Structure formats: structure tokens, C-alpha cells
Amino acid sequence: MPRVNGTYCELFNTDYLLGLPLDYAVDRWAFRLRLYHISSHLGDEFIANHPEYVFLRVNPSFEALEFFTSCQVTRYLRLYAGPGFILHSDKTFPMDNFYVEYGGEWRFLPVRFCYQQLYGTFFLALDVQNWQVRNWDFDWTVKGGYEISKLAGIGRKIRLFAEYHDGFSYEGQFFLERTHYGQFGISWGF
């Protein structure tokens, strides 16, 4: 996007995720088969507009198929795991085919609020990934906080949380670079 003085905003991060999930749940078990495409573009405009710098433009996009299983072990503990298989990756960023992801979520000290029939609980979650393209190194994220949701009706949830990541970057060109960071956030979702 051109600015007034003719320069460009070149460090946009544009991510795309398109997936077709097929979900099935019975009793304590849930299953998901998903075909998806993901791509991330960080600084593409900068690389294109500055040929005087020696940057290798790569596109770490891929299409994959994954199958996840989730088990609600107790009322407050859920575990999940699943393998993934990369069907196709961009020629500029070839990727090995396999990865696994697993983790869990523990909810504790639940409270029912009479006002608006709300339910609140503390939560602690861990997600771990191992990718063949990353030499099966551990890539993990831990998140903890407080969640508020309705007791009945639409399952929207508000989460106030702190998160810590130690592993690899999710930002396109830096997919193979190790990183770690912490953040605070608020999310509203389904």
C-alpha cells in the first residue's frame, strides 16, 4: 500500500488457512479428519521492492491431511493426539511429509455464576508438535488463564490468558527458526 511520500508498508504479515474438517463425536471421544492449506507471507513486498538486498524469497506453504483423536478423560481433563501428512509443499520450501501433535487441557476450580447463567473455570493447556522437517525437535506452547462461558445455549467462550511458546516460528519464512516468547491475551470464540 503506497504511503503519501511514495514508500510502501512492506512488512505486512498475511496468513491463509483453509480447511475442510470432518468431525465425529461419540461419548467421551471426538475425531477429526481435516484436509487443509496453510501459507504465511511475511515481508514479501519488502523482498520484491528491494532487489538490491540479497534475500532468498521462499514460500513455506503446503497442503496436508491430518487425523486427530480427543478423549475427555474426566469432566475436567481432555487429552488429544494425531498425525499429519503433508501432501504437497511449495518448490521453494520443500517439506518432509510427517508431523505429530498432541496435548491436553485441564480445567479446575469451576464456579457457577447466577447472573446470566455463566460458568467460569481456570484452565491450563499444553500443545506439543514434532515435525519431520524440523528434525522431530519439540515445539511446545503452554497457556493458562480463566474462561467464562454460558451454561446453556450458544457455546461462546471468553478467555483471559497468559501464554509461553518455546519452539519454532509460525511466521512463514522463519518456519525453521527456533523462537520463544510470552504473551497475554483475551480471546472470544466458539
Q: Quote the domain boundaries for residue 77.
A: 13-189
pLDDT value of residue 79: 98
Residue 3 lies in a domain: no
Number of domains in the chain: 1
Whether residue 22 contacts residue 35, with contact meaning beta carbons closer than 8 Å, is answered with no
Residue 83 lies in a domain: yes
Is 167 part of any domain? yes
Q: Is 92 within the bounds of a domain?
A: yes
Query: Is 2 a domain residue?
Result: no
Q: What is the pLDDT of residue 190?
A: 65
Residue 34 within a domain? yes
**Is there a domain that residue 163 lies in?**
yes
pLDDT at residue number 42:
62
- Whether 7 maps to a domain, the answer reads no
First to last CA, the chain: 33
Q: What is the mean pLDDT of each run of 10 residues along the chain (190 residues)?
A: 53 76 96 92 64 69 96 96 96 91 96 81 97 96 94 78 94 84 90
CA dist 97 → 40, 122, 168 (Å): 18, 37, 17
pTM reported for the whole predicted model: 0.83
| Cα-based distances in Å from 105 to 54, 127, 144 | 44, 9, 9
